[in-house]
Structures are given as structure tokens and as C-alpha cells.
Amino acid sequence: MFPYNLQETYRITPNAEAAEFIQAEVQTYFGYEQKSKREKYADVWISKTEGLNVKTDNLLSQQNKGRLCTAEVNQWLRDPNNNLKFLFIEYKNEDGLLTLVSTKEVYIEEVCYEISNQGRGLLQPKRTSEGKVIFRNRLDRDEWIEEFKDKYCDFVDKQIARFEKFKSDWC
């Protein structure tokens, strides 16, 4: 049984974007209308203080929606009333036969992550050598914020060093 009225199988057109289809099914469950292609932090706003972000992995192609969210989510999460959850969905798309394999819903504090180089930083889930997302016991919010600060300082230090090298090599 899958959450949010998701079915085990769907028939979609072979060239349809399965990940977007799955996300739209979750949004339909909540009666949610997406306001832009790039929603801030969440794919579905369950309430003003709770977001749900749908993350999909196509097990046949190893394509996944890699990023969790932008690093600025830390500012929003400083309010203890705000919560962000992720719904990780593994699926197979065999020429338009879309089969959901598994789902796991977790809070952001339960996902091991790193900060990658894009804009002001993107939170990326850490993965095993087999490509599976690494989960952990949920940190309390203060622990998560402190962990984020440490990771973000490391990220910024690496960015500064990178740009200092560009400056010394090119200027």
C-alpha cells in the first residue's frame, strides 16, 4: 500500500516524464496547485508550516532527482514550527508501464546530506555505492541547524579557495 492514494502501476505515454507524473499525483491528492515550476523547498505545501518534497529514483536508468533543496532552507527551518518532509519514491518505467517499487517518507533531519556547488548551495542526499539514499535517526532541530552551519562553513571556505585560485590564475 502506497501513501497519498498512489497506485502500484500506471500506464503513461512512453515519452512522458515519470518523475513529474508521480509528483503531480501527490499534488492531486492534496488538491495542491503548483504556482511555479520551481517551488521553494517543497513540491506540495500541506500547510503554511509543512512542506512535502517528492524525490524519485528510476531504478532502471539510475536517474534521480538529486537535489533535496536550496541551502537557504536553513533560514526557514530556524522557525521550530516549520517542517520539511521528503517522500522518496523508487520506480521502474518500462516503456510507459510505470511501477512504483517503494516509498519512504522522512523529515529533512533524517537524511544524510552534503552541500554541493550551485548558487548559494544545494543540499544533496548522500548515497551508498549502490545509489541508495542514506538515512539516519532524526536529529532534533537545533542539532540539524548546528550541523548545517558546520557544513555550510566548509562549503563557503571551499568556494572562497576556488575563487581565490581563479583570481590568482586569471587576474
Residue 15 cell numbers, joined: 515519452
Cell 533535496 found at? 68
Interior CA angle at 39 toward 88 and 77, to 5°?
75
pTM of the predicted model as reported, rounded to 2 decimal places: 0.89
Q: Which domain holds residue 15?
A: 9-170
- The answer to the question of residue 133 being in a domain is yes
- The answer to the question of residue 55 being in a domain is yes
- The answer to the question of residue 69 being in a domain is yes
- The answer to the question of residue 131 being in a domain is yes
Could you give the number of structural domains in the chain? Answer: 1
- The answer to the question of residue 146 being in a domain is yes
In eight-state DSSP terms, residue 166 is H
- The answer to the question of residue 3 being in a domain is no
How far apart are alpha carbons 11 and 7 in whole angstroms?
A: 11
pLDDT tens-digit readout, 102-156: 999 999 999 999 998 888 888 889 999 888 999 999 999 999 999 999 999 999 9
- The answer to the question of residue 68 being in a domain is yes
Least-confidence region, from 32-36, 106-110, 127-131, 159-163: 32-36
pLDDT tens-digit readout, 44-85: 999 999 999 999 988 888 665 567 778 789 999 999 999 999
How many CB atoms within 10 Å of residue 54?
24
Helix (H) or strand (E) holding 11: strand 9-11
Please spell the DSSP secondary structure of 17-76, one letter per residue: -HHHHHHHHHHHHHT---SSSS-SS-SEESSSSEEEEEEEEETTTTEE----EETTHHHH
Please spell the DSSP secondary structure of 141-154, one letter per residue: HHHHHHHHHHHHHH
How far apart are alpha carbons 115 and 70 in whole angstroms?
A: 9
